[in-house]
Structure 1
Amino acid sequence: MIILFFISLITFANSLSLKSVLMAIDCGGQESFNSKEGFLYQEDQHFSGDSRVSDYTYNDVVYDGIAYTFTPKVYFTERHGSSFDYSLPINKNGQYTIILQFVELYFENEGERQFDIFIGTKRIIQNLSIIDNKHQKGSAKEVFIYIEIKEDKVFHNDEECTKGFINGKLKIGFRKGAADLPKVDGIVIVKGHNAGEEEKKHLIDNWEQMLEENRKKEAELQRAELEAQNMIVPDSVEPEEGEGLISFLLSPIGIGIIIFGMVVFGLLIFTGENEDDKKRKKNKSK
């Protein structure tokens, strides 16, 4: 089976390589899986607080397809609630990027869901709406948060996030804002601050074109696989002399013609033998 890598995401995939991704959580998901970029999403874990899981696997919007992502599975499930946290283990000091992944599958309009995001006790984002001028219902949205961990403290924009890093764990909080409940579909922690935010913006701005290019590439790869398995003959390859006749005779039509010919030949022999018997009997009667 061919693993389909989408060429339009080469730069983004390099940014989110196996080496740079420290951890990825499929929020609400019950099993691990590999993303198209090549890193592993772990099943939901490290959460606490007042929350529950929703599974949208068979939702009509999911069936039609999640926009702005080539790893839609992470958006099939979510964790939501009035107030909950993720405490993610990070063992080393350094710069990191938190990528929070969202999709709105319930509300239709911007602002119908608004919530706050915290690191420790510091509010990083206030009244986030998943739906905005570029993201509609069913569009994957990623929020990039750049932090630095040093001396057992976490900093955002050079300001300390109090209680944001305790006992080697980074604490990310989701709290009620101006409307409804907070939710999250996926969390990815990336080493460094080169996590592909600009590439993601480019993907959103050119989504339809990239989608069409990748459909064509997928069709080409599938055809190449069939050719490699000798299931179809490439257009550019001419059959060798005699190969066409053999292929025809071995086809269902060819086999049918052979069987029909054998039946006719047998009938002719049988008819001829009956005529000879009649003649012998006639001669004896004389």
Structure 2
Amino acid sequence: MLAGGYDMAWPLFVLLLCANALLCRCLDKEDVIFAVNAGGDAHVDSYGILYQRDFNRIGTESDYGKKLSIQRVKPHDQILYQTERYSQTTFGYDIPVMQDGDYVMVLKFSEVYFTNSGLKVFDVVLNGQHVVVPQLDIYDKVGIRFRSRRVY
């Protein structure tokens, strides 16, 4: 679950959850349990991974980033970094994990709207209680129009 613990919760992200995967193997499409294109339509990426359409009803979908070219991203996969879901309240995604085990969570981000640090800061929280990434500021990590990929 993503939780906005501060003034704004405007996450732009792509979430991949991989089961029993080593970090170097996480892009094997057979290992992916869940992938969503936040704020966007379904998309099959360059690796054959199907990102489902964002069906979340909380917050707002935005394709503002479609007018930008995201640096270090293949043209075919630009759409994964150009759409977003944002809200000024907490929202999350239910991930269909069927059993206990070791999982790898890959978060992919890009900032397409704000042009300064501190304007979009949020926590990444699992199961509503485990803060995996506190005070994530995408702009602070990569600036505008660059992608970020974090593995947890």
- Give the TM interval when normalised to the shorter protein: 0.7 to 0.9
Whether 2:135 is the aligned partner of 1:144: answer no
Structure 1: gaps (5+ residues): 1-11, 146-286
Relative to structure 1, the CA distance from residue 18 to residue 58 in structure 2 (aligned partners, 3 Å threshold; closer, same or farther) is closer
1:100 maps to 107
Give the secondary structure class of the aligned counterpart of 1:75: helix
Pairing of 1:252-263 with structure 2 (within 5 A):
none
Aligned to 1:244: none
Distance in 1 (CA, whole Å) between partners of 2:107 and 2:25 is 19
**Counterparts of residues 49-64 of structure 1 (less than 5 Å):** 50-56=58-64, 58-59=66-67, 62=68
Q: Deviations over 1:92-111 (max 9, x none)?
A: 33211111221111111222
How far apart in 2 are the matches of 1:130 and 1:58?
18
Residue 38 of structure 2 corresponds to residue 18 of structure 1: no
Q: Does 1:35 align with 2:45?
A: yes
Would the alpha carbon gap of residues 68 and 132 (structure 1) be closer, same or farther in structure 2, given more than 3 Å must change?
Answer: farther
1:72 equivalent in structure 2: 78
Deviations 1:156-212 (A, max 9, x none): xxxxxxxxxxxxxxxxxxxxxxxxxxxxxxxxxxxxxxxxxxxxxxxxxxxxxxxxx
Give the number of aligned pairs.
126
- Whether the 8 Å CA contact 1:104–1:138 is kept in 2: the answer is yes
- For residues 22 and 58 of structure 1, what CA distance do their matches in structure 2 show? 27
CA distance in structure 2 between the partners assigned to 1:73 and 1:56 by the alignment: 11
- Structure 1: which 4+ aligned runs deviate by more than 6 Å? none
Task: Work out which of the two has the higher radius of gyration on C-alpha atoms and give 1 or 2.
Answer: 1
User: Cα offset for 1:22?
Assistant: 1.5
Could you tell me how far apart the structure 2 residues matched to 1:100 and 1:109 are? Answer: 21
Quick one: which amino acid aligns to residue 67 of structure 1? Answer: Q
Find the counterpart in structure 2 of residue 121 from structure 1: 129
Identity of aligned residues (%): 29
Cα distance in 2 between the residues matched to 1:58 and 1:21 = 26
Counterpart for residue 18 of structure 2: none
2:95 alignment partner, one of 88, 103, 117: 88
Contact 1:13–1:37 (8 Å) recurs in 2? no
Query: Offset at 1:89?
Result: 0.8
Give the drift of 1:143.
Answer: 2.5
Structure 2 CA distance, aligned partners of 1:92 and 1:137?
38
How far 1:58 moved relative to its partner?
4.0
- Structure 2 portions without partners, runs of 5+: 1-22
Residue type at the aligned position of 1:112: L
Structure 2 CA distance for aligned equivalents of residues 123 and 75 of structure 1: 23
Query: Structure 1 counterpart of 2:81, which letter?
Result: Y
1: distance between equivalents of 2:26 and 2:66?
A: 31
With the length of structure 2 as denominator, give the TM-score of the two structures. 0.72
State the secondary structure of the residue aligned to 1:74.
Answer: helix
- 1:113·1:130 contact (CA, 8 Å) conserved in 2? yes
Give the alignment's TM-score, normalised by structure 1.
Answer: 0.40
Structure with the higher helix share, 1 or 2: 1
Do the aligned partners of 2:64 and 2:113 also contact (CA within 8 Å) in 1?
no
Q: For each residue in 1:6-53, what CA deviation from the matched residue of structure 2 results, as whole angstroms up to 9, or x when unmatched?
A: xxxxxx9854012121221111113x22111121111113x36x4111
C-alpha distance after superposition, 1:120-142 (max 9, x if no partner):
22222221110235x12001112
